[in-house]
Amino acid sequence: MIQEHTGCDLAINHKPSGSSRASQIVTEIDLMSQEMILKHIHPTCEAYDLGLLIEESNDDLSRFEKDYFWCIDPLDGTLSFVEQRPGYSVSIALVSRKGRPCLGVVYEPLTQTLYSAVKGLGIFRDETVWDWRPNFDGSYETIYCRGAVLNACWVLEHAPACFVKRPKVQEGGGCLWDYAATACLFEEAGAVVSDSHGNRLDLNSRDSVFMNQTGIFYASHQEIADFR
């Protein structure tokens, strides 16, 4: 559905979210994607008593009451999508009330690439076990050219590499739904995902859905993280 609307005239609206244009724009495609996902997700919430946090809807705080909750970005990298350049994706994660990722799925519509992981079962690329890890020779690439979700995926695609967002005062730095699925991918890949200080990401923070206070850090190898 997303690819079918690439290049079409879109109704672009703005929302009070973060301090950058990238975080503030929303299109009808974001909402259409959300609606499609919710048609599949809502029945599981009822059947398994799951909470829900999804970008284009108000936080109902059910994530603090349920043992697990869905954490969803129906279209990450909306600005890239609007500008018709690579960088947009769909991100779906299942997160525990303690803020730990249990399942992560990322889909890049442009290349039709599917990344997925389930806690304890490893990481997959296009439904095949992904043996991504190259040797580390002391040099690495810093990834920062796409939406937050694909930036993280590209750390593995272009390893050795890293993706960093430093802490800042202004609201922004991505939100819980930008990092929940890829955190699961990285943990299952044996790669490094943390806040800027090396602590585990809190994916169910009561303080804010934004990650600006702690920052984020993704690295393909521990040796790169040691340079931090």
pTM: 0.93
Q: What is the pLDDT of residue 228?
A: 77
pLDDT at 161 over 70: yes
Say how far apart CA 95 and CA 115 lie, in whole Å: 17
Task: Tell me the two tokens of residue 198.
Answer: 């090396």
pLDDT at 19 over 80: no
Q: What is the pLDDT of residue 51?
A: 98
> For the chain, which domains are there?
3-226 (3.30.540.10)
Q: Contact, 60 vs 80, CB < 8 A? A: no
Q: What is the pLDDT of residue 225?
A: 94
Torsion sign, CA atoms 138, 123, 129, 155 = negative
Q: What is the pLDDT of residue 15?
A: 64
- Model confidence band, residue 56 (pLDDT cutoffs 50, 70, 90): confident
Task: Tell me the two tokens of residue 65.
Answer: 């009451």
Task: Tell me the two tokens of residue 72.
Answer: 């969803």
113-127 mean pLDDT: 97
Q: What is the pLDDT of residue 87?
A: 94
Q: What are the tens digits of pLDDT across the range 191-201? A: 999 999 999 99
Instruction: Give the number of other Cβ atoms within 10 Å of residue 148's Cβ.
Output: 27
Task: Tell me the two tokens of residue 47.
Answer: 């059947």
Per the omega criterion (within 30 degrees of 0), is the bond before 134 cis?
no
Q: What is the DSSP letter of 175?
A: B
Q: What is the pLDDT of residue 145?
A: 80
Residue bearing tokens 């703005």: 14
